[in-house]
Amino acid sequence: MAYHLFEVYGIELEYMLVQRSNLKVNPIVDKLLTKKNGSLTSDVENGKIEWSNELVSHVVEMKTNGPTDDIDHLAALFAENVQEMNQLLEDFDTCLLPTAAHPFMDPDTETRLWQHHYSKIYALYNKIFDCKGHGWSNVQSMHINLPFFDDAEFEKLHAAVRILLPIIPGLAASSPVLDGEFTGYKDARMHYYKSNQKEIPHMTGKVIPEQVFNKADYYKTIFEPITEAIKPFDTEKILDHHFLNSRGAISRFDRNAIEIRVIDIQENPSADIAIAAFIIEALKLLVSEELISLNDQKAWHEDELFQIFDEVIKNAENTLITDKKYLAIFDLDRDCDVRAIWKKIYELVGGKLTEDQQNHIEFLIQNGSLSTRILKALRSDFSQGNIKKVYTRLAECLQENRMFRP
């Protein structure tokens, strides 16, 4: 069934499984799903939320069980599922850990690919790309799925999504530490993401999707080059172009939805859902053309937008934006940081959020991204003992569904 713009939503959240005693990744998602279901399966329906495996065996996904028109109650639903997972994991001395990247995982020695359902697909990915790397095996994010009914609605939604993508890491960055040190990027996940498929560049492109605004052009510009590039590697033809497309927002014409993938996972589901609701309201504003016409949105080339994005993944909300044309979209007439852009957007759409969502977004605008707060809490001490101390607190924030304060 095809839905109209903003009629329903799909949200996906990913978390790491770590040993409670030492916070090392624990590749036992199969045991978690088996304990919940009674037998091993790759997907477990838990009422309105579904649990499933990912590429690697220490990452679990929870997502809305089909499209939902009620985003406001998802925070409580996801929080309940977090607590249930943690309870099931107690027998294995294991818990869920938030943030978009494990701070000291060694992907070369600790990566374990999922060995059960779909393992043939994962094995082929590994053969092509060598998935023992931070961009593959050490990434956790939130995905937002937004529907479109036809080409006319796709045009509006895709144009708006492209405009907003570059500044989303300024709100959601949560991956500053890899290999036990600050990477120089507050969104290290997206830094690795943009190049981890360098063997076949067509798959990720410039992260920001190309200027294509209908199905036919999308197939010609994006899907067909991907299909052609993968042919020498996928001799059995088991990989689907919808899954191979790895841009920061991918268009799923098989279910008429755009999936946004540049959002780092936060310290608790309430923060994730607040960010999702805020992004959705910002997209509604862009689609309405109150700020900028559709034609002007479509005129932005992906290279221009990538240039902004590539700076934002370094400094998140503190990134200085000097592109006058981009600032003009939000009626800002002088250079300012990304925090100021999100503050301006919040002034325009914040009243449409619930009180709880408003509280979370105001906290982020005032206190900074989770990456900023993690770095502040670490106080330049990147010893493993101190990292464990800070990330143990983050695991507690996830369990208790509360914000992280340095």
Q: What confidence tens digit (pLDDT) does each residue in 304-361 have?
A: 999 999 999 999 999 999 999 999 999 999 999 999 999 999 999 999 999 999 999 9
- Could you give the percent of the chain with pLDDT greater than 70? 92
In whole angstroms, give the CA distance from residue 139 to residue 14. 9
Torsions phi, psi for 254 (to 5 deg): -70, -20
In whole angstroms, give the CA distance from residue 382 to residue 376. 12
Cβ pair 16, 85 in contact under 8 A: no
User: Residue 123: its pLDDT value, please?
Assistant: 63
User: Residue 132: its pLDDT value, please?
Assistant: 64
In whole angstroms, give the CA distance from residue 163 to residue 160. 5
Cβ pair 390, 377 in contact under 8 A: yes
Cβ pair 29, 57 in contact under 8 A: yes
The β-bridge relationship of strands 141-147 and 94-97 is: unpaired
Q: Rounded mean pLDDT of the chain?
A: 92
What b/e sequence results for 343-368 when a residue is b if at least 16 CB atoms lie within 10 Å of its CB, and e otherwise?
bebbeebbeebeeebbebbebbbebb
In whole angstroms, give the CA distance from residue 372 to residue 135. 21
> Cβ contacts of residue 49 below 8 Å, gap of 6+?
62, 63, 64, 65, 77, 78, 81
Cβ pair 248, 165 in contact under 8 A: yes
Interhelix angle 151-164/269-287, rounded to 10 degrees, is 120
In whole angstroms, give the CA distance from residue 303 to residue 207. 10
Residue indicated by tokens 């943690």: 86
User: Residue 277: its pLDDT value, please?
Assistant: 98
Q: What is the pTM of this model?
A: 0.95
Q: What confidence tens digit (pLDDT) does each residue in 36-93 have?
A: 988 888 788 999 999 998 778 899 999 999 999 999 999 999 999 999 999 999 999 9
* 135 class by beta-carbon count within 10 Å (0-12 exposed, 13-18 middle, 19+ buried): buried
In whole angstroms, give the CA distance from residue 12 to residue 64. 7
The β-bridge relationship of strands 257-264 and 141-147 is: antiparallel
Cβ pair 146, 261 in contact under 8 A: no
Q: What confidence tens digit (pLDDT) does each residue in 127-185 have?
A: 666 556 666 678 899 999 999 999 999 999 999 999 999 999 999 999 999 999 999 99
User: For residue 324, how many other CB atoms are within 10 A of its CB?
Assistant: 11
Q: Which residues pair with 25 in a beta bridge?
A: 18
In whole angstroms, give the CA distance from residue 387 to residue 167. 27
In whole angstroms, give the CA distance from residue 197 to residue 186. 21
Torsions phi, psi for 246 (to 5 deg): -120, 25
In whole angstroms, give the CA distance from residue 181 to residue 194. 20
Cβ pair 85, 60 in contact under 8 A: yes
42 compared with 277, residue with greater pLDDT:
277
Cβ pair 149, 344 in contact under 8 A: no
Task: Please tell me whether residue 331 adopts helix, strand or coil conformation.
Answer: coil
Model confidence at 206, in pLDDT bands (50, 70, 90)?
very high
**pLDDT tops 90 at residue 111:** no
